[in-house]
């Protein structure tokens, strides 16, 4: 088995193209064969466009990290944390949301996902957030189990739009 050194790169505006590519690749890999194919493609074209990431990177309250391999520094995943946009009655300005956390499957299971989540938790604590939130596809039992193992609990539900089709998500939270 090949071992890789992993580094996290805090993103700047020039990273929009890399975020677009890894965002589309990881979303497609995660949901191909599960969600409607046309919906996935529509979602990737809009929600994972370079323009989308460039716009998000312009906001000071949006933070991104790329997961890169050494020595070649190819990007294999990413993390996005921003103010929450979740349908919870008690959501507040002191909460943060993990909007996206993805890693190519070849690199899962070696602790990188835990390190990414730890990075989000560390960042949320430096922002004095009271809670870290996230949405996860309700039928993604592996991800739900991972988040529960990391201390998140189910606190709500939402409908998530993927290319014009709606899917059930759980909203999970971690008190900090």
Mean pLDDT, rounded, of the chain:
94
Cβ atoms of 134 and 154 closer than 8 Å:
no
- The sheet carrying 153-162 orders its strands as 5-10, 63-70, 75-82, 95-103, 131-137, 165-175, 153-162
Q: With pLDDT > 70 as the criterion, what percentage of the chain qualifies?
A: 97
The pLDDT value given to residue 2: 56
Across the range 82-95, mean pLDDT stands at: 96
- Average of per-residue pLDDT across 57-71: 93
Q: What is the mean pLDDT of residues 137-151?
A: 96
Q: What is the Cα gyration radius of the chain?
A: 15
**Per-residue confidence (pLDDT) for residue 1, from 0 to 100:** 44
Domains, the chain: 5-175 (3.40.630.30)
d(CA 112, CA 69): 11
CA 104, CA 101: separation in Å to the nearest integer?
10
């Amino acid at each position: 088995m090949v071992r890789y050194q992993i580094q996290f790169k805090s993103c700047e505006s020039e990273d929009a193209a890399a975020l677009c590519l890894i965002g589309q690749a990881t979303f497609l890999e995660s949901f191909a064969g599960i969600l409607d194919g046309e919906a996935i493609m529509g979602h990737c074209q809009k929600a994972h466009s370079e323009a989308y990431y460039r716009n998000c990177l312009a906001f000071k309250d949006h933070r991104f990290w790329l997961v890169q391999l050494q020595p070649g520094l190819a990007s294999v995943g990413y993390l996005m944390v921003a103010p929450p946009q979740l349908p919870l009655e008690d959501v507040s300005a002191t909460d943060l949301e993990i909007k996206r956390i993805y890693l190519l499957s070849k690199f899962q299971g070696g602790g990188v996902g835990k390190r990414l989540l730890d990075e989000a938790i560390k960042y949320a604590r430096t922002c004095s957030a009271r809670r870290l939130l996230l949405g996860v596809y309700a039928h993604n039992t592996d991800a739900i189990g991972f988040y529960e193992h990391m201390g998140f609990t189910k606190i709500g539900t939402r409908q998530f739009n993927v290319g014009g089709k709606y899917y059930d998500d759980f909203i999970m939270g971690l008190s900090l």
